[in-house]
Amino acid sequence: MAARTAVHCGLSGSVMAAPTQRAAGWGRRLCTAAAHRPWRLFGAMCLLRLPRITQPLEKEEEEMAALMGQIELEKSHYSDHEIRKLEEEEQLRRRRESSFDDDEAPSKTLIMAEDLEEKWEQKLLRFKAAPRITDADKNNNRTSLNRRLDSNLMLLVKQKIGNQELWLLPQVEWQPGETLRSTAERAMAAFLGDHIQAKILGNAPYGIYKYKFPRAIRTEDNVGAKVFFFKAFLQSSDLSQAELKEDYLWVTKDELGDYLKSEYLKKVNRFLLDL
């Protein structure tokens, strides 16, 4: 036990993957007092899919945008295309009024600006944008990655802790000799397979959740567990080779409350950035 705790604090003190000052301080404090109450460490991964489209504007924002657009239009100068169009309209009008004088030779077999505009209009009508609200949204299928394209999606996995099945961020126990970040990566690989393209930005954890085991299981050496959260961003959104485990969900921040316990949820909400 003493050896285990010694390794513990040695690692947290000198780990080259810079933990936050708070964790490092905690590690050092642990060295002195830890011989009595060791904690089990877990590394959890919060896998985020970034939004693909921007959120719709509020009513005031839309009005403001329309007003600014109007002001900008009225203050702007004519572009080359518009000048050309106006000139051609002038010419046409003059030609009609002067009743086929044709002093300017009709060598204008070039395309007129109006024709160009028509061509562009046709092209625009043929273009069809992808829908903002996808099928997965309509069916409320929370396992697909195609839902809620305008917000962050997080992966939740059902795990067995003790004798309970709980919805959690995927977590795996820390093993001596590895950094906490690699623990989290291992957790992600365990649930989603090896070929996940996710990027972790830093070596420091984003949050911590600690809990004590229920009295029945608690012993002198096994008081409770501390879970360190890391964040990763999904680079590519095709997970065809993934999904080994059974139950997984992709949820947004406001839907987290349906699945997570309140204490856990409080700690997780602290590091989630939702705009």
**How far out from the chain centre does Cα 104 lie?**
62
Which chain residues interact with another protein by CB under 8 A?
18, 20-21, 50-51, 53-54, 152, 201-204, 231, 233, 273, 275
Helix (H) or strand (E) holding 82: helix 80-97
* Residue 200 to residue 38: CA distance in whole angstroms: 28
147 vs 181, which CB is nearer to another protein? 181
> For residues 51 and 193, which CB has a smaller minimum distance to another protein in the complex?
51
Least distance (Å) from another protein to the CB of residue 90?
Answer: 25
Asked whether 188 and 170 are in contact (CB, 8 A), the reply is yes
In this complex, which beta carbon is closest to another protein, that of residue 166 or of residue 204?
204
The CB-based long-range contact list for 22-29 (8 Å cut-off, 24+ gap) reads 23/204, 23/205, 23/208, 23/228
Quick one: 209 or 230, whose CB is closer to another protein? 230
Separation between Cα atoms, residue 162 and residue 141, nearest integer Å:
29
Choose between 131 and 202: whose C-beta lies nearer to another protein. Answer: 202
Nearest approach, Cβ of residue 233 and another protein (Å):
7
Min. distance of Cβ 155 from another protein in angstroms? 17
Residue with tokens 């600006």: 113
Q: Nearest distance from residue 152's CB to another protein, in Å?
A: 8
Cα(156)–Cα(150) distance, integer angstroms:
19
Q: Residue 249 in contact with residue 142, Cβ under 8 Å?
A: yes
| Residue 18 beta carbon to another protein: minimum distance, rounded to whole angstroms | 5
The helix/strand count (H/E) of the chain reads as: 8, 8
Considering the complex, state which of residue 109 and residue 164 has its C-beta at the smaller distance from another protein: 109
